[in-house]
Structure 1
Amino acid sequence: MADIKKFADDGQDLYIRMSASELEEEDDGKAKTRIIKDQLKDIREGNQKNEGSQKEDLELPLFNISTIASATDNFSDYMKLGEGGFGPVYRGTLADGQEFAVKRLSRSSGQGFNEFMNEITTIAKLQHRNLVKILGCCVQEEEKMLIYEYMANRSLDNFIFDQTRGELLSDWPKRFNIICGIARGLLYLHQDSRLRIIHRDLKASNVLLDDEMNPKISDFGLARMLTGGDQTQGNTKRVVGTYGYMAPEYAADGRFSVKSDVFSFGILILEVISGRRNKGFYHPDHSHNLIGHAWSLWKEGRPLELIDTLLGSSCNPSEVLRSIQVGLLCVQHHPEDRPSMASVVIMLGSDIALAQPKQPGFFSEREHEAGRPHIGNESSTNEISISLLEPR
């Protein structure tokens, strides 16, 4: 592992070696090398162009590929933790005993170089107990890798959607702590960090759990930083996210905002309470997804029937009911009706009176299909981010 600070202190330029095949793949290969060099330098110097004169010395260590290979037993299958749109994730242990997780960019990754750089330049600037911490990166030979703190219990979806592992989250206080922790992490991104950040891919598989089941938001490859001090939304022709978590206005029109993240968070609340996925949800009496099922129970005065049977008698009915109501407020169809994350944190932590939720967006699979843009290119599974390209 090498600290890039010493190169700058000595006045040296930093060069990144890339394979010829990668340079041949795209015409801007040299530009990519230069981007990596410049971005890492900016991170090290704590470049705060949008923060006036405030500066911090942020360092992003560079790991040597031989160090990572040795720590992961040459990326052995038994060290593999999982795989997503970025590529495989491995567990590793350094010589000093420190454990870490490494995301290795697949050469066939649909997310690719831009998301790799986006994650480096986004998460390296963030520090919060409910956000996963980046330890460094490796850009050497043909490899591009991100190194994170190791989260012993992996991702939230491994527990809430699995009847066997779900026993480890079979008491309501643990699940409520997870809901509140995610809310605090998202509030930090939207309001309390130096840069306002919209995650754009918040989902159960992107929430990691430490050895005490505390949640940390991860995977910032698709995140967007809003540069204006008061800016809260943006627009894109490239819709990215995960089917089943995307807000209606984002999936249909490419309009993303802090409120589109709030929508995704609302789905997460309902999933944590019910132990069921929004996408692929099945009920013998109707064709609604999880949002629609929760909405129907709410209108019929039976919202507590949403509760995962694993939770049993551990539930605090008033706390669960409040959480369901907050979840439904977050998934309302119109973004202006959804609360901010600051309001959500207050609502979850107090007994203040809550507004009655209005009809949610995408409360049936059919409606969700109708709201999707024309797909020009898609790489998707339930747990892998997708890119939907709007027609020109």
Structure 2
Amino acid sequence: MSSLIATGWWHACAQSARSGMERSTMAARWWLLLLIGLAAAAAGVVRGQGGAPDTTGFINIDCGLPEKSRYVDDVTKLKFTSDEAFTDGAGTIHNVSADYATASTTTDRSLYTVRSFPDGARNCYTLPSVVPGSKYLVRARFMYGNYDGLSKPPAFDLYLGVNFWQTVTVPSADWLGIAEVIAVVPDDSVQVCLANTGAGTPFISGLDLRPLANSLYQQANATQGLVLVDRRNFGVGGNATAGGVRYPDDTYDRVWLPWSNPPAEWSDISTTEKVQNTIAGLFDVPSVVMQTAITTRNSSKPIQVSWDTHPNHDYPDPGMFFTFYVSELELLTGNAVRQFNISVNGIIWTKQPYKPVYLSTDSLYNAAPHRSYSRYNFSLYAAGNSTLPPILNAVEVFSVVSTGNVGTDAQDVSAITSIKARYQVKKGWAGDPCAPKNLAWNGISCSYGISTPPRITSLNMSYSGLSGDISSYFANLKEIKYLDLSNNNLTGSIPIVLSQLQFLTVLDLTGNQLNGSIPSALLKRSQDGGLTLWYGNNPNLCSNSSSCQLPQKKSNSMIAVYVAVPVVVIGAVAVLLLFLIKKNEAKGSVKPHILGSGLPSHSQNGSEHTSLQQLHNRQFTYKDLAVITNNFQRVLGRGGFGPVYDGFLKDGTHVAVKVRGESSDQGYTEFLSEAQTLTKIHHKNLVALIGYCKEGDYLALVYEHMSEGTLEDKLRGKGSNTRSLTWKQRLRIVLDSAQGLEYLHKACSPRFVHRDVKSSNILLNANFEAKVADFGLTKAFKCDNDTHVSTIRVVGTRGYLAPEYVTTYLVTEKIDIYSFGVVLLEVVTGQPHILKCPEPVSIIQWTQQRLSRGNIEDVVDTRMQGDHYDINGVWKVVDVALKCTAQDAKQRPTMTNVVSQLKECLELEENRFREDLSDTYVTGSSIDRNSSYSTYATELSQGSTTFEMEHNLRKMPKRDIGLPTLR
């Protein structure tokens, strides 16, 4: 798509489908189509009785219209407004040349003016009042019209928020272009940005926003959007005015264009009867579109249509979606039969003939994008027993773009936006501050975490004409390291809140008009070497010679006294404690026995002794463990606590002995936490503690043995049995694990948060039943009303840590859910939680990037090649995983909900039919509305993250969607 989508609407599609057509004739007819008007708005609600559809949520912008100007479009009756309030005052407005603002070119008033952006690398429109997690159609309109008198049509890039949308390439002054994208918007507003690529000044004529029902266009989800290539209404001949369908006939204001200059062998058919839309929840096609169709005059001739792909710098091999809408418009009598097949580039797409239903809308489409060709030639041809030629009512064609990139941390955005407004910054600051990297704001540097939003780490606002005091908003940039406010006209004192920036290493305040003194906290950090502080050339700052110095330190002799006394005291206490401990140990060795029957004290303090007395498991000595493990001969694995050894009790019970290693950064606290936790919890999906050893500094825990090792090893092919887990085994494992975590979160009293959920802490027994292990970092809630626990440090494993836990240290159940979402992605993909490709990237980003191509096979573990599984279940697990790893903890499900979803996935897998379907297309009418999967479809339509759906409930083997025969 190196050129605009409208190239597909007005030019490229018609050219690719009918080579040799005259461009001038076709263009003139499409200019006439714009008599309908290209501005409008569809609310995505059901059409009311006796009136036009509700337009709630519509935004109709005429770019370049003078401020506060308004008008009503003559055709659609939609109200258009100036773009002044949406642009933050950027850009300049122009009228197109009078040669193009005429009825012979277009009567669409919104194309008579433009706003251009000669300054800045990126300029943006902000469209407000968006419902987060909902689906929208965003449409931009363009007519250059030689507005600048240069006769140099430009090219530039469009972005939807921080995600590349497409390249706009303007071929001529009279070219009318449309760029349209369907996407899920994660926030309460959405930005449309024009980026200067050095090929001319970006401009725009109009901008529309249309809410869509979330059940529509299931291929558009949280990680991928659909860019319109073509939307056609067949059966209206070359009459553009009669054939163009949009609002109010289409309640979403989609524009259905006729196929211009149809071949002579085509024949138009139509009906005045209403066509029932039995698949309205998935494809809400207006009846007026379906009331017309084409067929061929000779039943032996196929209907042939084709589309070209348009690669660009971000998508050299764009994925494509094709949806064919079909309804039988003739009441067939006698022995008349209409059945047809579809082929793509000579290869059969439909393995069995398709028969359209009388006056009922149906669809044939590929559920995953296809990317095998640069040109797609479709042929619809009559089946062998058909007496009538094929029929086609409408078509939609989309390419796929990624919407998985995340913007800058919300707190940083709020802070820098407030700073921008406070000082009226004119530095070309538009769009997201940090993303994408190549468009980051001038003077700003950012850190880009693997699984967290970008953070602002450096801000250079020197020589920026700043005046007034230093805003407290700077203190909200919590991860900033370098702050340069030099050579401005800042006044007032240095705010003490700047000392709260714990990562700040350089602060340059040189060359301002600051007064007063420097906060002592900043001075101390500067003198300690943790902060480089420059404040020269501020005439009124530190005017008192002592106001920029810390109080004098005590003399060296006094410091020596202050230090020596406590050292001597502490040393004496330590010697006494050591003597007592040695004396106690000399009384004899510890005998194995059941706790609670006179446990001898090995404690360093009374609280430790009390805690160990609460355990109701078996205590072992070091000698016992040496016997059990055959002198620690066989190592099963290693963790953060230390090595794990294989062992057997005297009664033959197989056990695993986890011993604290000398280099372990985990000590008695984690040991005691795990032992205490495991005495309070008992669940079939949690590893059971058999006993412990605490002898001097020697710490060990004895567990039930899990013969199949860790889930991580099984996914990576490690261990003696390298055979890959089947999809059904994987589902059972994650369901078992989720049930164990649900027990911790809901059934325990007090409730627990694991804090270290990962694939290496999920163990498997001989029956491949999963149990969650390693409770050394577990935290308990004090009471049922607690919502979080505050800690003083972040613990866990990089790549599994929830972003809010890293920044706030607050422990909630949602941090386990985030980590479990990462585990789910590992189970589906077989990939580690952090990949090197070649730079480190989280499995979340890796999955989102691949899903943006639309094919689930791009992420499914290749070790499951040949394993038949329910593709719907795979999509659903991925959907659950991405919901679990949502950046906003409030959007994550509960573990109870996760368990419920995984049970449905397992049910889908267990109930799938064994026969292989040969059909490579999907029909919208094949949905069983009473099935459990239909319930899933409803949940997807209501959720913030939706994924493409397979609508044929006879379950399929792995390669069964997305035109697989064309690979």
TM-score range for the pair, normalised by the shorter chain length: 0.7 to 0.9
Match of 1:148 among 694, 703, 712: 703
For residues 140 and 164 of structure 1, the distance between their equivalents in structure 2, rounded to whole angstroms, comes to: 32
Match of 1:377 in 2: none
- CA deviation after TM superposition for structure 1 residue 278, in Å: 2.1
Residue identity in the other structure for 1:293:
W
Match of 1:86 among 624, 630, 641: 641
Deviations 1:53-109 (A, max 9, x none): xxxxxx221112222111112222xx1112211111111112221111111112332
SS at match of 1:241: coil
Q: 1:243-258 to 2 correspondence within 5 Å? A: 243-258=798-813
Q: 1:54-203 to 2 correspondence within 5 Å? A: 59-76=616-633, 79-162=634-717, 167-203=722-758
Contact kept in structure 1, 2:708 and 2:764, CA below 8 Å: yes
Residue identity in the other structure for 1:15:
P
Residue identity in the other structure for 1:2:
H
Deviations 1:146-184 (A, max 9, x none): 110011011111110237868533311001111111111
SS at match of 1:103: strand
Match of 1:342 in 2: 896
For residues 769 and 892 of structure 2, the distance between their equivalents in structure 1, rounded to whole angstroms, comes to: 26
Q: 1:217 to 1:263 in 2, by over 3 A?
A: same
Instruction: Determine which structure has greater relative contact order: mean sequence separation of CA pairs < 8 Å that are 6+ residues apart, divided by chain length.
Output: 1
For residues 288 and 15 of structure 1, the distance between their equivalents in structure 2, rounded to whole angstroms, comes to: 51
- Structure with greater strand percent: 2
Contact kept in structure 2, 1:208 and 1:217, CA below 8 Å: yes
Instruction: Answer with 1 or 2: which has the greater Rg.
Output: 2
Q: 1:142 to 1:156 in 2, by over 3 A?
A: same
Q: 1:357 to 1:162 in 2, by over 3 A?
A: farther
**Scaled by the length of structure 2, what TM-score is found?**
0.32
Does 2:561 correspond to 1:4? no
Residue identity in the other structure for 1:193:
C
Residue identity in the other structure for 1:238:
R
Contact kept in structure 2, 1:294 and 1:303, CA below 8 Å: no
Match of 1:320 in 2: 874
Contact kept in structure 1, 2:673 and 2:775, CA below 8 Å: yes
Contact kept in structure 2, 1:2 and 1:64, CA below 8 Å: no
Match of 2:611 in 1: 39
SS at match of 2:730: helix
In terms of mean alpha carbon deviation, does 198-207 or 227-236 score higher?
Answer: 227-236
Coordinate RMSD, CA, aligned: 2.1
Residue identity in the other structure for 1:70:
V
Contact kept in structure 1, 2:717 and 2:723, CA below 8 Å: no
For residues 791 and 811 of structure 2, the distance between their equivalents in structure 1, rounded to whole angstroms, comes to: 8
Structure 1 unaligned blocks of 5 or more: 8-13, 19-29, 44-58, 360-392
Match of 1:290 in 2: 843
Structure 2 unaligned blocks of 5 or more: 1-591, 905-931, 947-967
Q: Give aligned pairs, total.
A: 321
For residues 309 and 35 of structure 1, the distance between their equivalents in structure 2, rounded to whole angstroms, comes to: 52
Residue identity in the other structure for 2:610:
D
Identity of aligned residues (%): 32
For residues 131 and 244 of structure 1, the distance between their equivalents in structure 2, rounded to whole angstroms, comes to: 23
In terms of mean alpha carbon deviation, does 161-170 or 88-97 score higher?
Answer: 161-170
Q: 1:214-233 to 2 correspondence within 5 Å? A: 214-233=769-788
Match of 1:263 among 805, 818, 832: 818
For residues 608 and 646 of structure 2, the distance between their equivalents in structure 1, rounded to whole angstroms, comes to: 25
Q: Which aligned runs of 4 or more in structure 1 are off by greater than 6 angstroms?
A: 163-166
Contact kept in structure 2, 1:246 and 1:260, CA below 8 Å: yes
Deviations 1:229-257 (A, max 9, x none): 12232222210000010010112221221
- CA deviation after TM superposition for structure 1 residue 303, in Å: 3.1
Contact kept in structure 1, 2:717 and 2:724, CA below 8 Å: no
Contact kept in structure 1, 2:710 and 2:764, CA below 8 Å: yes
Q: 1:131 to 1:75 in 2, by over 3 A?
A: same
Residue identity in the other structure for 2:600:
Y
Contact kept in structure 1, 2:834 and 2:841, CA below 8 Å: no
SS at match of 1:349: helix
Q: 1:111 to 1:144 in 2, by over 3 A?
A: same
Q: 1:194 to 1:169 in 2, by over 3 A?
A: farther
For residues 274 and 63 of structure 1, the distance between their equivalents in structure 2, rounded to whole angstroms, comes to: 41
Q: 1:237 to 1:189 in 2, by over 3 A?
A: same
Match of 1:16 in 2: 601
- CA deviation after TM superposition for structure 1 residue 264, in Å: 0.3
Contact kept in structure 1, 2:851 and 2:858, CA below 8 Å: no
Does 2:823 correspond to 1:238? no
SS at match of 1:280: strand
